Amino acid sequence: MKVLIVLAHPEPKSLTTALFNVTVDELEKLGHEVKTTDLYALNWKSAIDGADFPEFHQDKERLVITNESGKAYHEHKLTKDVLEEQAKLEWADMLILQFPLWWFTMPAILKGWVDRVFSFGLGYGVGYSAEKPHGTRYGEGSFKGKRAMLSVTIGGPASNYKEMGVNGDIFHILWPINHGVLFYPGFDVLEPFTVYRTNKFTEEDFEKASKELRERLKHLETEKPIPFRSQNGGDYDLHSLELKPDVISPEEKGLGLRIHLKEQSN
Amino acid sequence: MKVLIVLAHPEPKSLTTALFNVTVDELEKLGHEVKTTDLYALNWKSAIDGADFPEFHQDKERLVITNESGKAYHEHKLTKDVLEEQAKLEWADMLILQFPLWWFTMPAILKGWVDRVFSFGLGYGVGYSAEKPHGTRYGEGSFKGKRAMLSVTIGGPASNYKEMGVNGDIFHILWPINHGVLFYPGFDVLEPFTVYRTNKFTEEDFEKASKELRERLKHLETEKPIPFRSQNGGDYDLHSLELKPDVISPEEKGLGLRIHLKEQSN
């Protein structure tokens, strides 16, 4: 398998980077081909703007990102750093995002990789038709057939992220990324690899985490992905994109993260 | 009221910026004092690293962000741009974050504002004690007594973000920000102001949105915040930080965003 690992940490001697190194080592031992993107080492530009679109003239025009992005992607006229990442994504069978959970989401630099690399026509704005008025996404899209996995280092203890944990359970915390960033453009998304309590990590904890990580990596090709429903597979109303009432009821939906409200509205 | 508005959009003529302008105008008309941070105009540095801590020497030491951040914050030895933002936050009674929803979360530059400004000792790592082993957060913390609100422009239609919408309902999508970024350090968080279908926005839509926005802004001081449970208020076990079983049951929790799975595990 061809695996692209994107790393987001400023410190080469960090736990995040150490787990990244274990991942590269194990994948190569297993015979996979590995490419990497070390965002901090690349001094990756995080903020998408007019300069991302060499044919766009800020002083003459108003920047509408979806328009410029779509045009530039279609004409292959994006900046060199973005084109390189898109080529790596095309080459890859699997994508691993390796990052510390900061404020319950990606570090800014990794969000910047998503913002700038997942162009209109590649990450979104794909496959519109009469049958699929919302396009091909959530189980379809440019990265269909590829796998993806988050590898996340988390400062707090696991209990804070359990089903009833105060931060919100980890499935919901990572939803915007697993579902909204990875499943959206078509990846099959594996359960994240998560390491908790990293701000109190010992050498022993690291040995244990490395061992678990290496074991996960042995099964990447065959592991069952998170069974997200595909958007165009029949479960969602094709116009409103709401889950059809016969599929699941609002009662079954329950409160979700609303359990963390002292009172419910409506 | 003293209001700080942080704007994240590269285009001065964008819808996001137009709503920002309406907000500044209306708040000043209402007699509030307004300060602003235009992240793109400032060329805001998004990626936190060793350079954020002037006393840190990359070649000599390993960067542990929580340590350096806490030290630098305590000694008031952060970079000028961060200190300015922290001073604005201290001055403000209310914070508004104005941004387009990109990939179901903040633009990278705004995440970078959170990553770099919410230092250890300010945004997190606050108030540890024997009674509060997890510190003061979620309803307590540095920003207790202040209010915050997200003002979000969203490309897709509202139905995609309703209770059963494919993207996940907006309460859950914005949870990591409303609860994890704002309530966490103590803000009272107001319901977000959201504008949908922005990629098909007409002049009429803008007039309607401006009117709704101005109406919301008239009541910012008195509007009831989202009733998040406070961490240390008795609803959560003080050690595991899981919601106590008598408060709400896993059955009431229901599936939440797991409704978007074809099958349930465990």
Residues 6+ away with beta carbon under 8 Å from B23: B5, B96, B98, B151, B213, B217
Query: What local confidence, expressed as pLDDT, does residue A266 receive?
Result: 54
> Which residues is A96 bridged to in the sheet?
A5, A149
What distance in Å separates the CA atoms of residue B15 and residue B99, rounded to the nearest whole number?
10
Residue of A nearest to B225 (CA): A261
Interchain pair A63, B102: CB under 8 A: no
Tokens encoding B168: 């996940």
Residues 6+ away with beta carbon under 8 Å from A113: A6, A8, A37, A39, A44, A46, A85
Contacts of B102 in chain A (CB under 8 A): 115
What distance in Å separates the CA atoms of residue B106 and residue A104, rounded to the nearest whole number?
12
- Measured CA to CA in angstroms, residue B234 lies from A16, B79, B161, B243 at distances of 34, 38, 32, 9
Q: Among B111, B119, B159, B262, which would you mutate to test the A interface (most chain A Cβ atoms within 10 Å of its Cβ)?
A: B111
What distance in Å separates the CA atoms of residue B72 and residue A10, rounded to the nearest whole number?
17
Q: Among B106, B164, B178, B189, which would you mutate to test the A interface (most chain A Cβ atoms within 10 Å of its Cβ)?
A: B164
Interchain pair B164, A261: CB under 8 A: no
User: Considering the domain A2-223, what is its CATH architecture?
Assistant: 3-Layer(aba) Sandwich (3.40)
What distance in Å separates the CA atoms of residue A203 and residue A12, rounded to the nearest whole number?
17
Confidence tier at A69 by pLDDT (50, 70, 90): very high
Query: What local confidence, expressed as pLDDT, does residue B246 receive?
Result: 86
Residues 6+ away with beta carbon under 8 Å from B94: B1, B2, B3, B4, B146, B147, B148, B149, B220
Q: Count of CB atoms within 10 A of residue A252's CB?
A: 11
Phi, psi of A29 (to 5 degrees): -55, -40
First to last CA, chain B: 49
Confidence tier at A58 by pLDDT (50, 70, 90): confident
What's the average model confidence in pLDDT over A17-23? 98
Whether A226 contacts B262, CB under 8 Å = no
ipTM value: 0.97
For the packed helices B203-217 and B15-29, what is the interaxial angle rounded to 10 degrees? Answer: 40
For the packed helices B108-117 and A108-117, what is the interaxial angle rounded to 10 degrees? Answer: 170
- Residue A265 pLDDT greater than 80, yes or no: no
What distance in Å separates the CA atoms of residue A111 and residue B105, rounded to the nearest whole number?
9
Among B62, B104, B166, beta carbon nearest to A241: B166
What distance in Å separates the CA atoms of residue B143 and residue A47, rounded to the nearest whole number?
27
Query: What local confidence, expressed as pLDDT, does residue A129 receive?
Result: 85
Helix (H) or strand (E) holding A116: helix A108-117
Interchain pair A47, B63: CB under 8 A: no
What's the average model confidence in pLDDT over A139-164? 96
Among B44, B167, B254, beta carbon nearest to A254: B254
pLDDT for A184-206, tens place per residue?
Answer: 999 999 999 999 999 889 999 99
What's the average model confidence in pLDDT over A92-105? 98
Average pLDDT of adjacent 10-residue blocks, chain B of 266 residues: 98 97 98 98 98 90 94 97 98 98 98 98 92 88 98 96 93 96 97 95 97 98 94 91 85 81 71
Among B167, B241, B257, beta carbon nearest to A159: B241
Whether B14 contacts B99, CB under 8 Å = no
Q: Among A164, A246, A248, A265, which would you mutate to test the B interface (most chain B Cβ atoms within 10 Å of its Cβ)?
A: A164
CA-angle at A87, arms to A83 and A92, nearest 5°: 150
Residues 6+ away with beta carbon under 8 Å from A161: A154, A167, A168, A169, A170, A173, A196
- Name the residue with tokens 């090709």: A221
Map residue B189 onto helix, strand or coil.
Answer: strand
What's the average model confidence in pLDDT over A210-220? 98
Whether A147 contacts A95, CB under 8 Å = yes
Query: What local confidence, expressed as pLDDT, does residue B49 receive?
Result: 97
CA-angle at B63, arms to B60 and B69, nearest 5°: 120
Interchain pair A175, B138: CB under 8 A: no
What distance in Å separates the CA atoms of residue A151 and residue A194, rounded to the nearest whole number?
6
What region does A9 belong to: left with phi over 0, alpha with psi -120 to 50, or beta?
A: beta
